[in-house]
Structure 1
Amino acid sequence: MVLRSLLARLLNSQQLIESLSETRLMRRAAQLTVASITRAQDAIRDAVRAAALGGGQQQQQQQQEQQQQQRPGKSPQGDEQNPRSGPQ
């Protein structure tokens, strides 16, 4: 109980807060916090872009495969599985 009230008084002291904020330790902690938040935001942004681009590319590939399957005599894997394309 005494410790809690002492701590509350210290944390409510404007002068103490200002002097702590000017220490090297607090400035470094703030720099590390900002750097980690920025890295996390960049990683999320890159993941969203990759998902958006990847989804579009995957959809195009599926459409191309469907078009190739609709053409007679063509296989989506190439000519090596087509029995008609061997040497004659």
Structure 2
Amino acid sequence: MKWEHLSKNLAKDYKLFLAGYKESLDQLNADKALLLGQHTEATAPQNIRDKIARDRAAWETLWGIDGQKIQAMRAIHQKELDAFFSNPE
């Protein structure tokens, strides 16, 4: 595999990750707005605030800076880079 091909694949993966990140964050915010309805986060009932906090925590676990999605992508990229540098063409 050539460096140009490898770098294009890595960039494509990051682009797809960022698109998924944005879509997921938009959905999280839409769900939050739907839950809040006429309330603000400060005036919402406790059960709604708890649900929003749980949703945000779950989102962070999956999409956050050290979330499962980015960790999986980094692991794959590291294997590809290790293979490239251990046996460059």
Larger radius of gyration: 1
TM-score (norm 1): 0.43
